[in-house]
Structure formats: structure tokens, C-alpha cells
């Protein structure tokens, strides 16, 4: 393994997404002045009603580079008054925007998609600086984020109702799909751009307006998105972005405000539960994209090459800081030794370095609290009998780096089998029969995604039907795709993002009973 400032090339994570997602790009050295230029291009103000402005209280909060701990920029610390102004702007803009021709809404999204593609390198650099992920991964996220704008640009003109003859033959059933109204969006730091576009894209397509509150660690990507939407011709007030030090204080009054009609949240289950309570005041429409504890199940008949490759991707995409990250490896006892050895070899060879360094494959975790939590989980597992096959420790003298870690023989009682690790740690547990594998996979309050590796199609369908998750990766280590319904069950939340399902989250169905017979309606 190489240290954060080490120079050996290490192994490859592989190409997590299709080649147009940019993972195969050769990286060059990024100069400090290129970093400064990219940061200076980000509008570091609140975006309210189509105007860029400072917080009314004049406060700011710093944005830190997790690989150095240095401050990159200051963004406004919005007050409740600013939040209310943003919601008022979204409410006012809704009256017109809901009537904008669908084709025009689609064209704005298409232009925004194209601008993101044109600026992929600048957007990726800003993302790497504020969040830490290696540049090729940041580039992949920008393209992935943009793909939601492209997908929903195409969907905006495909919003249909239906017309049907009622059972009695006399009346007609007419339904229309109308925009929900002003929405509140709260997004996490781990995918600073994509978690925004996959809400904003379908909202714009449906004719909804919004107030977006990004995570305080990574506001720059979302502010850049707002600038792009502005340049793409989005009318003022349709999307508003507010940043703040205390999200709870800023957002609760908005969630309880009658002008808001929907809340879409991506983040931890603990915060999601709090927000669901607050949203019950107005009975807001809700989408909750919450935490996960993904099992990665490898059967004895799996193609081990495919499984190891898939494991590396499912575990190490975003350095393990993903809700879809494989949190537990559930491997048949007859192949567990071979699988563990090969995974440890690949994980141990990954190059850990600041995300802007050539060849970096694993960046820093988001902050010191993340390092402390991952270390505590590893120590707990080792204390209960797990074997460290590679890694196990924080790395480097500054920044928040942790070595890619594989733990073998992990007992079921270890805390990291139950809790979301959110770091580069792969715990391996074993099973001896299919029913046991299914029981182990489902033994969690979460239900976001599961990964399944087998060459036996009958078994694959049996297991897929039995898994209690919203998504399954079958013989592949990732599921993200703008055209597919992303979301979970159980305490991983409800609602779907992406695909036609993602658009429905922003539409209300209105039904009209039509009497065309000229006689009084009867049952």
C-alpha cells in the first residue's frame, strides 16, 4: 500500500462506469493556480430569486479541503430570513413555471446538461477539492450528475394523463398529472452534485420549483450547478440554493411552512426520521433516500474474477463513502479464503493520495469524525476476533486518509456488520447454505441495495426475490443509472430517483369525473 504522498502506482480500481463516465482518463498534475482558478469561478453566494447575494446576517462558513484540512472558500451562513426568502421566491416562481411549455423546460435541462459536459473538468476539480474523491471519480460523478438533466430533458415532454370510459358506460374518467409545487431539497456531501441533479432534474421536468440546501462540507458543487442552470436560461426563483452552518435551524421553519409541498432528502436515516416528523405538520409529499448496509453475497458457483472486480467497485467507489457501498461481504465458506486473499491483494495495492495527484485511486474521508468512526469499527471487529488481511489504520500526517482494509473471519456480532461503515473497509463473513445467505443478507434494518454473484440463474432469481432491498446488483458491483429507479425499502427510506419513477415523485394526479351524457350521473 502507498501512503497519501507515496509515489508507487499501485493497482487499479477498474472502470466503475461506462467509458463515457471518464474513469479511464489519464490524469495530469494539477497546479495550485489551476485549483485557484477553478475555485474562483464558483459563485460563493446564496442564489435566491435569480440573484446572487450574501447572507442577511453577514455570516459565512468555511469549506475545507479534506486532504489538507485547509480552507478553500467561504460561503454564506443563511439565516431563517434568507431561507424564507428562498421559499417565497420558489413559491412565486411556481405560478409561471408550472405553465412553461414542457418542451421549453426540457430544452433548459438539455442546455444545462451540455454546459456540464463542457465544464466537466472544472466541475470535477472543484468537487475533488471540497469532497476529496480522486479526480477521475469526480469526473465520473459530474457526467453521472449531468445524465439526470439529459434524461429528464427527454421526459419533460412525456407527462401524460389518461382518458377512460367509466364502468357504467356513461361517465368518463380523465386524469391529469400536475406539478406538486415548491419543493425542499436537502443533499449530502458524498455525491455533492449528483444527489442534487437527481432531484432538480425531474422537478424542473415536472414544472416544480425548489429550494436546495447542500451539505455544509460540499456546497461549491451545488452553487456551480445553480450558475449553470442560470446560464441555461432557467427563470429566477425556479431553483434557489442556500448554504448554512446549522441546517436544522434553517430548514425546520421551511419544512413547517405551508408554501412548501414536498421534501426530498438524501442523507442519514437518523436525520431522515427527524425530518419525517417535522414534515408531518404539513403532510408534505416525501422522498427519503437514506442509509444502507449493503450485503455483497458470493455463492460457491460465482465467477470469482467477476466477483472480485465487482467487490472492488462496490466497496471502493467513492472510497467506501456511498450509501450503496458494500458494507458486508457474505461469502460461501468454500470460496471465502480465495476471495479474501484476492480482494486483500487488490485493495492493498490501491494508491491512497490527495485526489488531485496523478494516479490517486483513494482520496481522504470527509473529516476527522469519519476517521475516528471507521477506526473504532475496525478495532471493535478485531477485538471480537476478525483478522486484518490488509490495512486497518489511518494514513498520513495531514488530511483524513484511511488505508483500504480487508477483514477476514468477521464474527456476526461485530458492530460493522450492523452499522454503515462509510469508509474503505471490507469485512468478510461466511455462510454454508443458500437460506443462511439470504437470512444474513436480510438481517439488517436497512434495505437499499444488495449485490449477488452466482452463475446459477435459478438460484439468482430465488435469491433476488427473497432479498429485502430496493435494488440489486446481479453480477455487477454498481447500480446507479439515470434511467433506473434508485431507492430503498425498510429504514433506507421511500420514493425513487431516476427513470420514469423519479418523475412521478414530482407529480400529483388529479382525476375528473366527466359526465358527457346529458343525464344525471348515476353509479
Q: Is 227 exposed, middle or buried (0-12, 13-18, 19+ CB in 10 A)?
A: middle
Contact residues toward ligand NAP (CB under 6 A) are 186-191, 195, 213, 215-216, 247-248, 251, 266-268, 271, 274-275, 289-292, 323, 420, 448, 488, 492
CA nearest 361: which of 313, 408, 409?
Answer: 313
| Least distance in angstroms from the C-beta of 216 to ligand NAP | 4
Catalytic residue (choose from 17, 64, 289, 497): 289
Instruction: Give Cα separations from 243 to 88, 90, 194, 219 (angstroms).
Output: 16, 16, 17, 7
Task: State yes or no: is 333 an active-site residue.
Answer: no
Residue entry with cell 442534487: 196
Cβ distance to ligand NAP smaller for residue 1 or 126:
126
Q: Are 193 and 145 in contact (CB under 8 A)?
A: yes
Q: Please tell me the distance from the alpha carbon of residue 516 to that of residue 508, in angstroms, as a whole number.
A: 25
**Angle at the Cα of 188 from the Cα atoms of 187 and 190, rounded to 5 degrees:** 135
| Least distance in angstroms from the C-beta of 17 to ligand NAP | 16
Count CB-CB contacts under 10 A for residue 300.
Answer: 17
| Least distance in angstroms from the C-beta of 491 to ligand NAP | 10
Cβ distance to ligand NAP smaller for residue 2 or 469:
469
| Least distance in angstroms from the C-beta of 187 to ligand NAP | 6
Cβ distance to ligand NAP smaller for residue 288 or 307:
288
Q: Are 419 and 264 in contact (CB under 8 A)?
A: no
Q: Is 46 exposed, middle or buried (0-12, 13-18, 19+ CB in 10 A)?
A: buried
Instruction: Give Cα separations from 180 to 58, 153, 259, 499 (angstroms).
Output: 33, 18, 11, 18
Task: State yes or no: is 208 an active-site residue.
Answer: no
| Least distance in angstroms from the C-beta of 291 to ligand NAP | 3
Catalytic residue (choose from 64, 321, 323, 357): 323
- In the complex, which residue's CB is closest to ligand NAP? 267
Cβ distance to ligand NAP smaller for residue 389 or 467:
467
Q: Please tell me the distance from the alpha carbon of residue 430 to that of residue 424, in angstroms, as a whole number.
A: 20
Cβ distance to ligand NAP smaller for residue 46 or 344:
46
Catalytic residues: 289, 323
Amino acid at each position: 500500500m502507498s501512503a497519501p504522498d507515496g509515489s508507487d502506482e499501485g493497482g487499479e480500481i477498474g472502470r466503475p462506469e461506462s467509458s463515457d463516465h471518464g474513469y479511464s482518463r489519464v490524469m495530469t498534475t494539477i497546479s495550485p493556480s489551476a485549483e485557484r482558478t477553478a475555485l474562483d469561478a464558483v459563485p460563493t453566494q446564496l442564489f435566491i430569486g435569480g440573484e446572487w447575494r450574501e447572507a442577511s446576517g453577514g455570516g459565512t462558513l468555511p469549506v475545507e479541503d479534506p486532504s489538507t484540512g485547509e480552507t478553500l472558500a467561504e460561503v454564506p451562513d443563511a439565516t431563517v430570513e434568507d431561507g424564507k426568502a428562498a421559499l417565497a421566491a420558489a413559491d412565486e416562481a411556481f405560478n409561471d413555471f408550472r405553465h412553461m411549455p414542457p418542451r421549453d423546460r426540457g430544452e433548459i435541462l438539455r442546455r444545462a446538461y451540455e454546459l456540464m459536459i463542457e465544464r466537466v473538468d472544472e466541475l470535477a476539480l472543484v468537487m475533488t477539492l471540497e469532497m476529496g474523491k480522486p479526480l477521475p471519480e469526480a469526473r465520473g460523478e459530474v457526467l453521472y450528475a449531468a445524465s439526470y438533466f439529459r434524461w429528464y430533458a427527454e421526459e419533460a415532454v412525456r407527462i401524460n394523463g389518461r382518458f377512460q370510459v367509466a364502468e357504467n358506460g356513461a361517465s368518463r374518467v380523465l386524469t391529469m398529472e400536475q406539478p406538486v409545487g415548491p419543493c425542499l431539497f436537502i443533499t449530502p456531501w458524498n455525491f455533492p452534485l449528483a444527489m442534487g441533479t437527481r432531484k432538480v432534474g425531474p422537478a424542473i421536468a415536472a414544472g416544480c420549483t425548489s429550494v436546495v440546501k447542500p451539505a455544509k462540507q460540499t456546497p461549491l458543487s451545488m452553487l456551480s450547478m445553480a450558475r449553470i442552470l442560470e446560464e441555461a436560461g432557467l427563470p429566477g426563483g425556479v431553483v434557489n440554493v442556500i448554504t448554512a452552518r446549522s441546517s436544522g435551524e434553517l430548514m425546520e421553519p421551511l419544512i413547517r411552512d405551508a408554501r412548501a409541498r414536498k421534501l426530498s432528502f438524501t442523507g442519514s436515516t437518523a436525520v431522515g426520521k427527524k425530518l419525517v416528523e417535522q414534515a408531518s405538520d404539513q403532510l408534505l409529499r416525501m422522498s427519503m433516500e437514506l442509509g444502507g448496509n449493503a450485503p455483497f453475497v458470493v455463492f460457491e458457483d460465482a465467477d470469482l474474477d467477476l466477483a472480485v472486480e465487482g467487490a472492488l467497485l462496490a466497496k471502493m467507489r467513492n472510497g467506501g463513502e456511498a450509501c450503496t457501498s458494500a458494507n458486508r461481504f457474505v461469502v460461501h465458506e468454500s470460496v471465502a479464503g480465495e476471495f479474501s486473499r484476492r480482494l486483500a491483494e487488490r485493495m492493498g495495492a490501491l494508491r491512497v493520495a490527495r485526489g488531485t495527484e496523478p494516479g490517486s485511486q483513494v482520496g481522504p474521508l470527509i473529516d476527522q469524525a469519519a476517521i475516528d468512526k471507521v477506526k473504532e469499527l475496525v478495532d471493535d471487529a478485531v477485538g471480537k476476533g476478525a483478522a486484518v488481511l490488509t490495512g486497518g489504520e489511518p494514513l498520513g500526517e495531514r488530511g483524513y486518509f484511511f488505508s483500504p482494509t480487508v477483514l477476514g473471519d468477521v464474527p456476526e456480532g461485530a458492530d460493522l456488520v450492523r452499522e454503515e461503515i462509510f469508509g474503505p473497509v471490507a469485512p468478510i463473513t461466511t455462510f454454508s447454505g443458500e437460506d443462511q445467505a439470504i437470512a444474513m443478507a436480510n438481517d439488517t434494518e436497512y434495505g437499499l441495495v444488495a449485490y449477488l454473484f452466482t452463475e446459477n440463474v435459478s438460484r439468482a432469481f430465488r435469491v433476488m426475490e427473497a432479498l429485502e432491498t430496493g435494488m440489486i446488483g446481479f453480477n455487477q458491483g454498481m447500480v446507479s443509472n439515470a434511467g433506473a429507479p434508485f431507492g430503498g425499502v425498510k429504514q433506507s427510506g421511500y420514493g425513487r430517483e431516476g427513470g420514469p419513477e423519479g418523475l412521478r415523485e414530482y407529480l400529483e394526479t388529479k382525476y375528473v369525473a366527466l359526465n358527457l351524457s346529458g343525464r344525471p350521473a348515476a353509479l
